[in-house]
Amino acid sequence: MANFHPTFCTIIPPHVLDKVATSGDPDLAPVARHTLETDAKQRTRRQLNIALGVPDEVSVIKGSGPTDHPTRSIHDCHSTTALPGVKVRGEGEDPGRDATVNRVYSGLGATFELLLASYGRSSLDGEGLPLVASVHYGRNYSNAFWNGQQMVFGDGDGEVFVDFSNSVDVIAHELAHGLTQYTANLTYYGQPGALNESVSDVIGSLVKQYVLGQSADQADWLLGAEILGPRVNGVALRSLKAPGTAYDDEILGKDPQPATMDKYVRTGRDNGGVHINSGIPNHAFYLAATELGGKSWERAGQIWFDTLTGGELPDYADFGEFAQLTLKAARERYGDGEELQAVQKAWQTVKVPTG
């Protein structure tokens, strides 16, 4: 893997927090501004290390070898921003009284299990990488992130966003940024950045369906449905089935995700719209998975996984390059049958050219 640059990735995009921060609400705006400031500090630290060529401890973290069981450790920040915090649960230890800790522990395990059972991959790096997470980060911190080394979860403000461990797909989404980091390492800007986000949304959705034992037609295809607070008019943070419909709210605004290239958003915000335009490849995956039916993590998920980990996906890949490689992956694994046709039809529907 070339150009290894661990990336700071959050589940709530800056443009959403910007909307809350400028809402004028005396209770919610200060909390959103604090979350934005906290995220900016983390993001700046990562960018400076890369720009200055400072050796980053993240880049040398790896597993000791493939294993068939996860190595999890959950830490409690006790409302501070000091990472990783105090270790409160290790691998194999019994559940405690903190439901957040227990949910994160289970979510890490479910993601590890899906990767191993379905795709034969031992953890994020294929070498049994330990899975580290911190909970109760900051005070009223309204986000969750992957910082290149571990996962971090805030408790939310209780009004717009609640405990970010509530949604297993959010846990899996952030962990999947690590999977991308250790494989294609997609550049976190523009279309490759949107693909980076989309892969995490797809893996998050697959883990949720895997945990619930759902088939493609039974799934709701919503991401983060359980983290929206009581003040929000919406069903989730994002929808793979119908991008642009997840929320329409006075505080958050309207879900800006497009479903096809006709509505592609050109912007310099949010790293070139990585959380916005990810709706297009998200919808392509939904279309392919529902066309094939059955368990989404099997055929459709296998094709996406093969594309991400096959070694041919450049870190600067655009939608068209990714789409072409999904067709190649489908053909190599399944031949010229319905799998290939479903993937091709999906990309045609979202109007991504496949060459």
Residue 44 pLDDT grade (very low, low, confident, very high; cuts 50, 70, 90):
confident
Is 190-349 the same fold as 9-181? no
| DSSP conformation letters of 77-95 | -TTS--SS-EEEEETTPPP
Phi, psi at 50, each rounded to 5°? -70, -45
- Active-site option among 75, 136, 159, 174: 174
Residue 6 pLDDT grade (very low, low, confident, very high; cuts 50, 70, 90):
low
H-helix or E-strand spanning residue 100: helix 99-119
Residue-averaged pLDDT of the chain: 93
User: Residue 134: helix, strand or coil by DSSP?
Assistant: strand
According to the model, what pLDDT value does residue 58 have?
Answer: 43
Closest by alpha carbon to 32, among 159, 199, 206?
159
CATH 3.30.565.10 applies to domain 190-349: no
Give Cβ neighbours of residue 93 (< 8 Å, ≥ 6 apart): none
CATH 3.10.170.10 applies to domain 9-181: yes
The model's pLDDT over 73-103, given as tens digits with 9 standing for 90+, comes to: 999 999 999 999 999 999 999 999 999 999 9
Residue 53 pLDDT grade (very low, low, confident, very high; cuts 50, 70, 90):
low
- Active-site option among 34, 173, 275, 283: 275
Residue 45 pLDDT grade (very low, low, confident, very high; cuts 50, 70, 90):
low
Report the first-to-last Cα separation within the chain, whole angstroms.
Answer: 26
Q: How far is it, in rounded angstroms, from Cα 168 to Cα 38?
A: 24
Active-site annotation holds for 136: no
Q: Calculate mean pLDDT across residues 319-339.
A: 98
The model's pLDDT over 192-249, given as tens digits with 9 standing for 90+, comes to: 999 999 999 999 999 999 999 999 999 999 999 999 999 999 999 999 999 999 999 9
Active-site annotation holds for 226: no
According to the model, what pLDDT value does residue 61 have?
Answer: 64
- 215 burial type by CB count under 10 A (0-12 exposed, 13-18 middle, 19+ buried): middle
Going from N- to C-terminal start, the domains of the chain cover 9-181, 190-349
Q: Does the pLDDT at position 140 exceed 50? A: yes
